[in-house]
Amino acid sequence: MDLQLRDKVALISGGSMGIGLAVAEALAKEGVHLILTARDQQRLDKAKKTLKSFDVSVETFAADMTQARDIAQLVAYSRKTFDGIDILINNAGSGTNEKIAEAEDDKWYYYWDLHVMAAIRLCRAILPAMKQRGGGVILNNASICAKQPLFYEPIYNTTKAALVMFSKCLAEEAIKDNIRVNTINPGLIRTEAWEEAAIEEGQKQGISADEFLKKVAEENTPIGRFASTEELANFFVFLCSPLASYCVGSSYYVDGGWLKVVN
């Protein structure tokens, strides 16, 4: 199937590993040129090497998505390098672990900047050039936790829920300029973070990391397993495609049946 994405340009935050890198690879297979951003330049360099076999341009820019100045510099770089972008993937983020009664303001503000303000700032800065290019696609990577919370990470749950609402509001504004905005809410995706947690928790329980992940998946999902990052990335790529042209302002759950309510 031709997804009609060849020679488009995509900017992916949190693009050096995990879901972001998997999305980058899936887009590169479709001929999409890439700008990857993350905080760690070494990881970005490694990601670029991973993508070198594809016949696309891959640029990297180290930036901290919690810092407005870094985001402004990233957007300026994208304009200089590719004269704008067609696809924005707001993927930067990480889980949290706290109790509301004990979490200080600084932690709330940090993750608010990372999960919400980073997307707001990037979208606001990129929309004018995207409009000039005739339209585009913005995908915000939220989480099933935006609707079905894990109670050990209330900050993550709250900020991801806010990201979903921001996406809905932006979709209403942007579609008049042929810019489609949607949200993807993943469930259990086997990322580096989950693998690290599995090693630690598995040791506590006297089981292997794989056994721990299997236990988590079977306890929570009807499908009984984690998704690979590649499985999730395939869905991202479809929503980036003109073949998904009627998909606007929606939240899509990619969760193996984990969500316990009708959505």
The token duo for 236 is: 């991202």
Give helix then strand counts, H and E, for the chain. 9, 7
CA-CA distances (angstroms) from residue 39 to 71, 84, 235, 261? 11, 21, 25, 36
Q: How far apart are the first and last CA of the chain?
A: 29
Give, in degrees to the nearest 5, the angle at Cα 85 between 3 and 26. Answer: 40
DSSP, res 241: S
Catalytic residue among 109, 111, 152, 156: 156
Is residue 229 within 8 Å of residue 22, measured between CB atoms? yes
Active site residue 156: yes
127: which 2 tokens? 């929309």
Active site residues: 156
